[in-house]
Structure 1
Amino acid sequence: MNAFQKTGEKMTNYRWTICAMLFFATTVNYLDRQVLSLTWDEFIKPEFHWNEVHYGTITSVFSIVYAICMLFAGRFIDWMGTKKGYLWAIGVWSAGACMHALCGIVTEQYVGLHSAAELMAATGDVVVVVATVSMYCFLAARCILALGEAGNFPAAIKVTAEYFPKKDRAYATSIFNAGASIGALIAPVSIPLIAKAWGWEMAFIVIGALGFVWMGMWVFMYDAPSKSKHVNKAELDYIEQDKYEEGAAPVAVEEKDEKKMSFLQCFTYKQTWAFAAGKFMTDGVWWFFLFWTPSYLNTQFDIKTSDGLGMALIFTLYAVTMLSIYGGKLPTIFINKTGMNPYAARMKAMLIFAFFPLVVLLAQPLGTFSPW
C-alpha cells in the first residue's frame, strides 16, 4: 500500500483545479490564434486589399517565429519558475493579440487616410502601400503573439509534472490540451459575430482581454503543491507517490540541484528525434485546418464565417478533435486494467488513434457533393 493510502485523511483534489486553469489558458491561447483566420477573409481583406499571398505570409512568419521561440520557451519557464513564467507568457501573447486592433490606425496614419472606408476606396499605387503597410503591422503583432504563445505548452507540461503522478499525467495532459479544441470550437461561434457587430478590431481586443483575466486568477490560485494551502497531506502524498518505492514508507527526499543539459545534448537522445518527427508530421495538418478552413469555405462554397452554416461547419470540424480527451484517458485504462507500463500503454493508444485520420482522405471527393 502506498503512503498516500495510509494517511486516512480524505484527499483534496486541488490538482484538478490547477488542471482546469491549464485548460482555460490553452483555450484562450487558441482563441487568440484563431481571430485572424476567422476575420481576414470577410472583414480585413476588403479593408486592406489583401490577397492569399499577404495572409499566407503572415501565417508563415507566425509559424516560424512560434517554432523558434518554442526552442527557448522551456528554458525560460525553468529559469523564471512556473508561476512567473506562465504569467509572462500569457501577458505577452495577450498584449500581442490586442495589438492587432491597432494595425488599421497605424496604416491610416502612414498613408494619410482617415477611416476604414477611405482605405477600402483607395485605388492605384495607394492600394499596394495599404496592403504592404498593413501586412507588416499585422506581422509585428503576430510575432509578439507567437513569442508569448510559445510559452503555454512548456509551462502547462511543467505544471502537470508538478501536480500529477506519472500514471495520471497523460490524462491530465489530454484535458488541458483539449483546450485547443474548445478554443477552436468557441472561436467560430463567437469571433465572427463580434466582428460583425462591433468591428474586427473589437474581436481582437475582447478575446485578447481574456488572457489578462486568467492572469489575475493565476496569481492567487497557483503555488507549488508542497506550498499550496489548498493541497492537504493526503493529496501531496498522492502527487509525490513516484518518490516512494512500492510497499515502502515515505522517506525524506533530499533536494538536489538537477544536472543541467545543453540544448545540443537534447539531440543525442532518440526520444527527441521521435517527438520532433511526430510533431512535424501532425502539427502542419492541424494548423492548416486552423488557418485556412474559413477561407476555403468562402472561396470554394461561398460560405462566410459569419453565416450560420459557416459557423456550423467549422464548429463540427473542430468538434471531432474532442476525441483527444479520450486519447489521453485510454493509456490510463490500459494501465489500470492490464497492469501495462505507462510507455507501452501510450504507444498502444497512439497506434489505435493513428488510423482515424485516414478518413480525411475522403474529404476531397465527397466535397464535390456537399461542404459537409
Structure 2
Amino acid sequence: MPPHNFRWRIVFLLFLITTINYVDRNVLSFSMLDDAFRKEMLGVPLSYTLTQADLDAFKIQYGWVDTAFKLAYALGFIMIGWLIDRLGTRKGLSFAIGLWSLAGVATAYVGSFRGLLGARFALGIGEAGNFPSSIKSIAEWFPKKERAFATGLFNAGTNVGIILTAALIPWMTLKYGWRMSFMTTGVLGFVVLVFWWLNYQKPEDHPKVSTRELRYIKQDNQPEEIEGRVTWWRLLRFRQTWALIVGKLMADPIWWFYLTWLPDFFNSSEALTQRLDLQNIGFPFMVIYIISDGGSIFFGWLSSRLMKMGWSLNRARKTTMLLCALCVVPIFFAAQTQNVYIATVLIAIAAAGHLGWSANVYTIASDLYPKSAVAMVTGIGGFSGAVGGALLAAVIGPIRVQWGYLPLFLLASSTYLIALLFIHLLIPKMKPVEM
C-alpha cells in the first residue's frame, strides 16, 4: 500500500519559490531591451538617440553588472549554505527570500549602472539560498529513489519563472515602465515568503505527515548527523565534492549565459534575418522554456525510474547525464542559422538538457552525503558554478561585441561532455562518503 503523499506538496511549495526566484533574477534580461532603461543607465536624456557605440558600451557595462550579480551569488552560497545547516531549512530560506525580494524592490529605484550593480549584488546574495535550501528539503522529505524526480519537479520552476517573465515583463515594461516591473516582481517574493513560513516543517515534526509516509521517507536509514564539525575544508577532502564542483563549475556558466544574453541574441544577432524586440520576443522564450521544463521533469524522472528498475545509482545517474550532455551538442548551429524558429528549437533542446543535467548533479549532494551536510555541499557546488558564471560573464560582453555569438555557442556545445568525463574520472562509482 503506497504511503500518503504530503511530501509532494512540499515539492509544489519549492516549485513556487523557485519560480519567483527566477522571475526576480530575469526581469533585468528583458528590461535591457527597453530604450528608456538603457538611457537611464547610461545617464543620457530620454530624447537622446542611442548610437551603435552607445549600445556596445551598454552591453559591456551590463556584462559587469551581471558579473557582480554572479560574484554575489557565489558569496551567498558560502554564507547561506552554512547558515541553512545551522538555522534549519525553514529559517534559512525565509532569510534568503526576504533579502532577494527587498533587493528586487530596491532595483525599481536605481538611476545608474552603479546603483543597478549594488541592487543586483544584494539580489545575488539572497537568491543563493534557494537551491541549498531546496536540495536539503528534498533530502529531508524523500528517499533516494525519488529525489532526482522531486528535484526535477521543483527545478522546473526555473523555467516557469522565465516563461512568466517573458510573457508579462515586456508587456508591463511597455505599458507601465521598467520600474514597475521590478517593483511588482519584488513584492511577489514577500508573498511566497508567507506561504513558506506557514507551511514548512521537517517531516517528523509536521502534523499532516502520517506514520506510514514518515517510515517511507526514512527508508534509506541515512545518518542524520556527522561526528565532528562540518567545514568546507573537511568536505573538500572527498572526490564526491570535487565531482559536484566540476558538474556545476562547467555547466552553470552556460545556463547563466542563456538567462542573461538570449534576449539580446534574438534582438541583435547578425545571423538571424528576423530580429525580435519587446513586442514580440516573448513567444520564443515560452517555447524554449516550456520544452526545457519537460527536460527537467523527464530527465529527473528517468534516473529515478532506472533506479526503480534495478539500475545502480552510478549507472542511472551517469547514463541520464550523458543523454543530457548530448542534447546540448547541436546548439552551436543556433549561432549560424538565419531562421529564428530553428534557433529557438536548438536552444530549447539544449536548455532541456541543462535542466536535466542540473537535476541529476544537484541530487549527487543528497545521494552521497548525510542530510546534515547537504546544504553546505550544495553551497560548495553553487559557489563553484557562480564563480564560473562570473568569469564567463566578465568576457561575454567583449566577445559578443567583437566576434558575435558563435564562440559562445561553441563553448556551450562541448562543455557538458567534458564535465561528465571529469566526473567519471573523479568518481568511477558513486558511493556515499564516510564521515
Structure 2 counterpart of 1:70: 77
Q: Which of 1 and 2 has greater Rg? A: 1
Letter in 2 for 1:72: M
Structure 1 spans left out of the alignment, 5+ residues: 105-133, 245-252
Q: 1:66 touches 1:147 (CA, 8 Å); kept in 2?
A: yes
Q: Provide the C-alpha distance between the structure 1 equivalents of 2:256 and 2:340, rounded to a whole number of angstroms.
A: 25
Say if 1:189 and 1:368 are closer, same or farther in 2 by CA, change over 3 A: closer
Say if 1:209 and 1:237 are closer, same or farther in 2 by CA, change over 3 A: same
Q: Provide the C-alpha distance between the structure 2 equivalents of 1:279 and 1:152, rounded to a whole number of angstroms.
A: 15
Of 21, 29, 46, the match for 2:39: 46
| Aligned-partner SS, 2:157 | helix
Of 151, 155, 159, the match for 1:177: 155
Structure 1 counterpart of 2:11: 19
Matched, 1:284 2:253: yes
Of 159, 162, 169, the match for 2:140: 162
Q: Provide the C-alpha distance between the structure 1 equivalents of 2:305 and 2:196, rounded to a whole number of angstroms.
A: 31
Matched, 1:341 2:341: no
Of 44, 55, 80, the match for 2:87: 80
| Aligned-partner SS, 1:48 | helix
Aligned length: 324
- List per-residue Cα deviations over 1:141-176 (Å, max 9, x = no partner): 101100100111000011101100111111111111
> Equivalent residues in 2 for 1:207-226 (5 A)?
207-226=185-204
Q: Provide the C-alpha distance between the structure 2 equivalents of 1:145 and 1:238, rounded to a whole number of angstroms.
A: 37
Structure 1 counterpart of 2:25: 33
- List per-residue Cα deviations over 1:196-241 (Å, max 9, x = no partner): 1111111011111111111111121111111111101111111111
Q: Provide the C-alpha distance between the structure 1 equivalents of 2:118 and 2:261, rounded to a whole number of angstroms.
A: 21
What is the RMSD computed on CA atoms of the aligned residues? 2.0
| Aligned-partner SS, 2:203 | coil
Q: Provide the C-alpha distance between the structure 1 equivalents of 2:249 and 2:15, rounded to a whole number of angstroms.
A: 23
Q: Taking structure 1 as the reference length, what is the TM-score of the superposition?
A: 0.82
* Deviation, structure 1 residue 257: 6.1
Structure 1 counterpart of 2:265: 296
Letter in 1 for 2:178: W
Q: 1:188 touches 1:305 (CA, 8 Å); kept in 2?
A: no
Q: 1:12 touches 1:230 (CA, 8 Å); kept in 2?
A: no
* Deviation, structure 1 residue 305: 4.2
Q: Provide the C-alpha distance between the structure 2 equivalents of 1:155 and 1:362, rounded to a whole number of angstroms.
A: 37
* Deviation, structure 1 residue 343: 2.8
Structure 1 counterpart of 2:64: 57
Structure 2 counterpart of 1:107: none
Q: Provide the C-alpha distance between the structure 1 equivalents of 2:101 and 2:160, rounded to a whole number of angstroms.
A: 18
- List per-residue Cα deviations over 1:19-71 (Å, max 9, x = no partner): 10111111111111100111122141133326112211100111111112212
Structure 2 spans left out of the alignment, 5+ residues: 43-56, 345-435
Structure 2 counterpart of 1:353: 324
Letter in 2 for 1:355: L
> Equivalent residues in 2 for 1:213-292 (5 A)?
213-243=191-221, 258-292=227-261
Q: Provide the C-alpha distance between the structure 2 equivalents of 1:319 and 1:222, rounded to a whole number of angstroms.
A: 28
> Equivalent residues in 2 for 1:105-120 (5 A)?
none
Q: Provide the C-alpha distance between the structure 1 equivalents of 2:39 and 2:267, rounded to a whole number of angstroms.
A: 14
Q: Percent identity?
A: 35
* Deviation, structure 1 residue 369: 7.5
Q: Provide the C-alpha distance between the structure 1 equivalents of 2:255 and 2:3, rounded to a whole number of angstroms.
A: 38
